């Protein structure tokens, strides 16, 4: 009987399927049974693990209470041994006597029974936490609770308030080392979970220390440590449980899967070698089909052996060759592109390898990675982390956080390296990377070097770096709130434009003492309400309206990743960043006389005079957060700012651009005014000419750079002073104008500032003529 090749092939496939199907199903059921058995074990173990962690929490509370009580008893005994006459005399003698009996005390202070010295103190200098503890002691039911205070970055103390005399004649405030508390906490094993030592009430998540797994699930309410403001929260281990939390169901599914799998494998083994039933396949027809297929196959050619033949080397393809990396995304001070066009997960992975290779060359082993709220963020951040780990670098995943929080984490975790996956203020389909390696934000040549490594495939491979997740936001919040305070309660509308600052900025401003009215603070990567760019006045219209409707003192706005700040008054006036920088400079120079203050070429000409008048050293520099930070390191500047809304505080902070921290410092200045002037009255003291916001002329990618080269060569402003450190800026005695190529988007950026409207119009006309002379097709925004 003749058969076609197709029929024979089909029957061979059917035979193979019948042979393999029991093996596949049996193996699958065994795997499912084993998985359900593992789930059964996790469910049964979960309750016991949670009980062990809670037991460890209770033990920690007991131990900490004993330590606090012992510290209080030590102070009490020393105080009771003093001469009672000291209570009536000079407080300085009392403090000296007690200090002699308590040599371990870091500070001892004595105050009158009515605490007049505290009530009338300057809380900024006296200390908000100290004042609050003393005043709360007057109404405390029993001994005033001990608490933790911070002196400098991370330098904790245990503070104790003690009344002397009956009725109270003197209040003692004693600051002791925090080490006994920390040691008692560290001595408790979290039993596979995590213990969080907090300060505040039982609902507060102000963590001081943590022990155990960072991924454990924390309790909503902590357990209070008696005699203190401390509490301890238990975080149970996170188990990968996908089945309903019922151990009988898990056990039943495990037995069913294992039994079914073993049965199918036994059935297949018992049928091996038995003929297939005739009604399914005709064996004779199958053999004929096989023979026909063999005869129809073309003969295999015989290749003669060459006498001196050598095997051709097999070269593995370079990974970079299969990924098209657009060099134009590597910009002057970050990397930025359109997702799905010039930027995707493959590009992010190669970039991670390139950054990791650079780190390995510098002997750096760990990096923090965070992302903003854009929809493409999780995929790009994950691919970036994969590339970093492939290069042998350990990655700390911060999750969705503002860019300044990534910068903060490089200091807090002492990595010196970080990448913020962010599109900043660009449209939703953009994303990018801001990169810090060895404490320096990469820019210009260093960013181009990353591309050259990728293009040349000069990348580390097979490193196997580790990945862990950490939550740094509580530490960031505590660091700011512990240092910055608003002495008056200002009502402020906070517009986050649905960017990632919405998850942080309202908490920071509320924490320093402001009444916060949130506006568009829900994080949404599509930016449904308005573009997250406070440098564009159109994006501030809703904020201005909200400030007027709520009767707020002022409004603040942040860009998509939180490193830029915008401000509006209750009158609807936009306070441009160069005027804000004047206010910040006055404040910083009051404590750091003679300090260097840096500003970019887009800032008003009045800024230089204001810095000089305040006793500072002004320095104009190129626009760009990376370039400004590099100049700050070079000059040791205490403060810098850009017209785009980036502010860089070195005084009391770390020197990176942080719009959220700048907003907190602004509230501190406005609320701490000794004359209690309104924000409008304070802003009115700043010189205010006639100026434009940033004006933009859109161009094709790369065309704006070519235009600026031609403009520099041809433009001639005879009666002006020309500055070309970044674009072309022409300064006249009564004003100035600027045109430069943006390094983030393909546009020309222009700005004009003058003393009068007439001077502004004259300067704009001068620039218009010279711009059109270079390209008459330009669409002027003025």
In this structure, are residues 368 and 418 in contact, taking their beta carbons and an 8 Å threshold? yes
> What phi and psi values does residue 732 have, to the nearest 5 degrees?
-110, 165
How buried is residue 372: exposed, middle or buried, by Cβ count under 10 Å (0-12/13-18/19+)?
buried
Closest to 470 (Cα-Cα) out of 517, 428, 409, 545: 409
In this structure, are residues 450 and 325 in contact, taking their beta carbons and an 8 Å threshold? no
In this structure, are residues 772 and 778 in contact, taking their beta carbons and an 8 Å threshold? yes
> 335-338 and 223-224: which strand pairing?
unpaired
Beta bridge partners of 182: none
Q: Provide Rg for the chain, Cα atoms.
A: 35
Question: What percent helix, strand, coil does the chain show, rounded to 5?
Answer: 40, 20, 40
**How many C-beta neighbours within 10 Å does residue 263 have?**
13
Q: Side-chain half-sphere of 413: how many Cα atoms within 13 Å? A: 25
The DSSP line for 271-296 is HTTPPPPTTT--HHHHHHHHHHHHHH
> 596-600 and 639-641: which strand pairing?
parallel
In this structure, are residues 385 and 467 in contact, taking their beta carbons and an 8 Å threshold? yes
In this structure, are residues 339 and 429 in contact, taking their beta carbons and an 8 Å threshold? yes
CB within 8 Å of 2: residues ≥ 6 apart: 288, 292
Place of tokens 């245990």: 158
Angle CA 612–617–620, to nearest 5: 100
Please give the Cα distance from 177 to 616 (Å, whole number): 39
The DSSP line for 141-153 is SSSPPBEEEE-ST
Please give the Cα distance from 497 to 518 (Å, whole number): 10
**H/E run at residue 63:** helix 5-80
> What phi and psi values does residue 323 have, to the nearest 5 degrees?
-115, 125
In this structure, are residues 564 and 646 in contact, taking their beta carbons and an 8 Å threshold? yes
**H/E run at residue 473:** helix 473-481
Please give the Cα distance from 447 to 433 (Å, whole number): 11
Task: Annotate 536-586 with three-state secondary structure.
Answer: CHHHHHHHHHHHHHHCCCEEEEECCCCCCEEEEECCCCEECHHHHHHHHHH
> 690-691 and 747-754: which strand pairing?
antiparallel
Please give the Cα distance from 645 to 657 (Å, whole number): 9
- Alpha-carbon 714 to chain mean position: 44
In this structure, are residues 396 and 366 in contact, taking their beta carbons and an 8 Å threshold? yes
**H/E run at residue 11:** helix 5-80
Where in the sequence numbering do the catalytic residues fall?
336, 424, 646
Please give the Cα distance from 520 to 527 (Å, whole number): 9
Please give the Cα distance from 643 to 753 (Å, whole number): 12
């Amino acid at each position: 009987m003749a058969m076609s090749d197709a029929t024979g092939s089909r029957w061979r496939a059917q035979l193979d399927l019948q042979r393999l199907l029991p093996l596949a199903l049996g193996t699958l059921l065994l795997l499912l049974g084993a998985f359900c058995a593992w789930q059964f074990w996790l469910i049964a173990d979960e309750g016991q693990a949670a009980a062990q962690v809670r037991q460890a929490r209770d033990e920690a509370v007991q131990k900490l209470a004993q330590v606090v009580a012992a510290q209080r008893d030590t102070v009490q005994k020393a105080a009771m041994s003093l001469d009672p006459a000291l209570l009536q005399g000079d407080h300085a003698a009392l403090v000296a006597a007690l200090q002699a009996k308590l040599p371990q005390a870091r500070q001892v202070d004595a105050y009158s029974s009515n605490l007049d010295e505290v009530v009338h103190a300057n809380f900024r200098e006296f200390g908000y936490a100290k004042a609050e503890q003393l005043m709360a002691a007057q109404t405390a039911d029993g001994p005033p609770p001990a608490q933790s205070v911070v002196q400098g970055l991370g330098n904790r103390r245990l503070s104790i308030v003690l009344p002397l005399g009956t009725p109270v004649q003197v209040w003692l405030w004693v600051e002791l080392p925090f080490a006994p508390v920390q040691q008692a906490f560290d001595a408790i094993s979290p039993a596979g979970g995590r213990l969080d030592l907090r300060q505040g009430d039982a609902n507060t998540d102000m963590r001081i220390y943590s022990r155990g797994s960072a991924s454990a699930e924390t309790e909503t309410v902590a357990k209070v440590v008696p005699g203190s403001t401390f509490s301890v929260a238990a975080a149970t281990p996170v188990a990968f449980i996908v089945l309903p939390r019922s151990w009988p169901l898990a056990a039943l599914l495990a037995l069913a899967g294992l039994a079914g799998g073993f049965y199918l494998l036994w059935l297949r083994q018992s049928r091996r070698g038995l003929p297939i039933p005739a009604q399914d396949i005709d064996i004779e027809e199958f053999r004929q089909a096989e023979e026909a297929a063999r005869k129809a196959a073309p003969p295999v050619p015989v290749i003669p052996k060459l006498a001196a033949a050598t095997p051709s080397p097999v070269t593995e393809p370079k990974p970079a060759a299969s990924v098209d990396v657009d060099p134009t995304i590597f910009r002057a001070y970050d990397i930025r592109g359109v997702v799905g066009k010039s930027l995707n997960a493959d590009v992010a992975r190669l970039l991670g390898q390139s950054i990791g290779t650079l780190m390995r060359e510098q002997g750096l082993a760990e990096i923090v990675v965070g992302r903003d709220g854009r929809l493409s963020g999780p995929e790009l951040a994950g691919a970036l982390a994969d590339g970093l780990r492939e290069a042998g670098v350990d990655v700390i995943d911060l999750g969705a956080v503002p860019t300044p929080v990534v910068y903060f984490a490089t200091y807090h975790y002492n990595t010196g390296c970080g990448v913020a996956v962010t599109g900043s203020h660009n449209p939703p389909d953009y994303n990018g990377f801001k990169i810090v390696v060895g404490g320096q934000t990469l820019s210009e040549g260093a960013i181009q070097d990353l591309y050259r490594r990728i293009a040349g495939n000069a990348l580390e491979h097979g490193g196997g770096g580790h990945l862990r997740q950490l939550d740094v936001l509580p530490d960031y919040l505590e660091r700011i709130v512990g240092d910055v305070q608003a002495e008056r309660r200002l009502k402020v509308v906070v517009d986050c434009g649905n960017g990632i600052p919405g998850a942080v900025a309202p908490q920071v401003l509320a924490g320093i003492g402001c009444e916060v009215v949130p506006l568009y603070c829900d994080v949404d990567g599509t930016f449904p309400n308005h573009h997250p760019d406070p440098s564009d006045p159109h994006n501030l219209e809703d904020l201005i309206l909200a400030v007027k409707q709520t009767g707020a003192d002022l409004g603040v706005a942040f860009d998509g990743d939180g490193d830029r700040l915008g401000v509006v008054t209750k009158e609807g006036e936009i306070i441009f960043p160069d005027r804000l920088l004047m206010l910040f400079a006055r404040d910083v120079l009051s404590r750091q006389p003679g300090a260097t203050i840096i500003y970019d070429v887009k800032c008003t000409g009045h800024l230089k005079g204001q810095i000089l008048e305040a006793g500072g050293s002004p320095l104009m520099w190129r626009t760009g957060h990376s370039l400004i930070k590099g100049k700050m390191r070079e000059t040791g500047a205490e403060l810098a700012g850009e017209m785009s809304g980036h502010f860089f505080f070195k005084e009391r902070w770390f020197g990176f651009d942080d719009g959220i921290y700048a907003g907190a410092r602004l509230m501190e200045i406005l609320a701490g005014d000794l004359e209690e002037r309104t924000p409008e009255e304070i802003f009115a003291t700043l010189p205010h000419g006639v100026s434009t916001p940033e004006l933009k002329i859109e161009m094709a990618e790369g065309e704006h750079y070519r235009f600026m080269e031609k403009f520099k060569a041809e433009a001639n402003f005879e009666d002006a002073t020309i500055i070309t450190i970044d674009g072309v800026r022409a300064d006249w005695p009564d004003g100035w104008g600027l045109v430069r190529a943006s390094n983030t988007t393909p546009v020309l950026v222009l700005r004009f500032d003058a003393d009068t409207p007439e001077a502004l119009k004259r300067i704009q006309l001068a620039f218009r003529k010279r711009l059109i002379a270079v390209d008459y097709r330009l669409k002027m925004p003025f």
